[in-house]
Amino acid sequence: MNIAGERGISLVTWNESHFHQLYPLANNPKIAMNLKDSFPQPYTIHDARHWIEHNQKFNPPQNFAIEFEGKLAGAIGAERGKDELRTNMELGFWVGEPFWGKGIANEAVKLYTKFIFEKFDIQRLFAQVYDFNGQSMNVLEKAGYIPEAILKKAFVKNGVVGDIFQYVIVRGEQPQ
């Protein structure tokens, strides 16, 4: 599947062509710092293989490679809530450092949000951002997400405790 956006940005189903691009791009402590600890660091060739193979079983896909002008630039995806929280999906995304500052994340989040509300019977899509990651907060706000909550002292990264800012977009309330 390929969801084409503007200015050479597209969301593409993970495939073998991403394999040798993924691990060098993802193996960056500056990226891992802004993601959950389940994101491997260092990010190895084996992590890349596992991620690509894991994502080939979903139909419709939930996770996509972000491409910019035909090159892997990052990743975007969501995980559905369990049981009574199944009306929710939690969004996550990252863009590789060589692609920072080009508006790629903003376009990817807009494309992905539209796709999720079209393909999944959820009511809300939310994202949690660490207090030091103002860039991701800006991306979410530009894509129509609104601040929903501040979870005080909710995470620890590298021994530092901080706040999580939660953003949400609700079905029927997203910008067109």
Question: Which backbone phi and psi does 41 adopt, to 5 degrees?
Answer: -150, 115
pLDDT of residue 173: 83
pLDDT confidence of residue 176: 60
The per-residue pLDDT for 175 is: 66
Domain 2-121 top-level CATH class: alpha beta
pLDDT tens-digit profile, the chain (176 residues): 888 888 899 999 999 999 999 999 999 999 999 999 999 999 999 999 999 999 988 888 899 999 999 999 999 999 999 999 999 999 999 999 999 999 999 999 999 999 999 999 999 999 999 999 999 999 999 999 999 999 999 999 989 999 999 999 999 886 66
Is pTM, for the whole model, over 0.85? yes
Give the pLDDT score at 131. Answer: 97
Listed by start position, the domains of the chain span 2-121
